[in-house]
Structure 1
């Protein structure tokens, strides 16, 4: 043995049994619907709630890259992979994406910086 794991011989994960899956909230906006569709395709998971966390569902950086690519094709939006790490739920990421689509990425990034500057310590 070489110490490597033969990933093809591992069983397919059953994400439906995870504890966070108890409460399901369906997509409510067009952006949430599109994100759920992309995550479902990439992660091969049938039922995704808007409160599900990408990484708790088994997501990782390689899958995040695929999600970003599909999002670019679907919404014609250019987002850094970091945005998925900052907003790992469907609902949170959808709100961020809607702001970027409405105001532009530079305006959203500038607003985030401005908000952190206003915090007094």
Structure 2
């Protein structure tokens, strides 16, 4: 039998009696699994997570982290939604955002607005590809695409 995951720890958790604390070991494994499940997986989730990290000045972020628990407030929410609007051309209201204030919820709202995850991920992928390029290079890429069709 092969283990599904390996978790490296500095020392074994012990009970007050000095025995290995199996419950603490299970919690370590569960938190490691949760971390993997809560990491941005799609192009859209990654892009939206990056917007949140930039606006909220964070290094790490889970797709299920609550915006308000991270120190977010209405002004920062408007900044995030403004950036989302500029990338996806999709109008998400503050009220919609406040109902499920996390990266996963915002991604779902954008997917609902644009008609599915495929188009949203395509937009995020293209945005990521050209966001830091000078306008001239973007225009050249677009011309190359026109020639292919």
Same fold by TM-score greater than 0.5: yes
Class of the TM-score when normalised by the shorter of the 2 chains: 0.5 to 0.7
Q: Is it true that 1:55 corresponds to 2:68 in the alignment? A: yes
Partner of 2:107: 94
Q: Structure 1 stretches of 5 or more lacking a match? A: 1-21, 104-121
Q: Structure 2 stretches of 5 or more lacking a match? A: 1-30, 117-149
**Structure with max Cα Rg:** 2
Query: Which structure has the higher relative contact order (CA within 8 Å, separation 6+)?
Result: 1
Q: Is it true that 1:39 corresponds to 2:39 in the alignment? A: no
Q: Is it true that 1:79 corresponds to 2:92 in the alignment? A: yes
Instruction: Please give the alpha-carbon distance, in whole angstroms, between the structure 2 residues aligned to 1:92 and 1:68.
Output: 13
Deviation >6 Å, runs of 4+: none
Q: TM-score of the superposition, structure 1-length normalised?
A: 0.62
CA RMSD of aligned residues (A): 1.6
Q: TM-score of the superposition, structure 2-length normalised?
A: 0.51
Q: CA deviation at 1:49?
A: 0.6
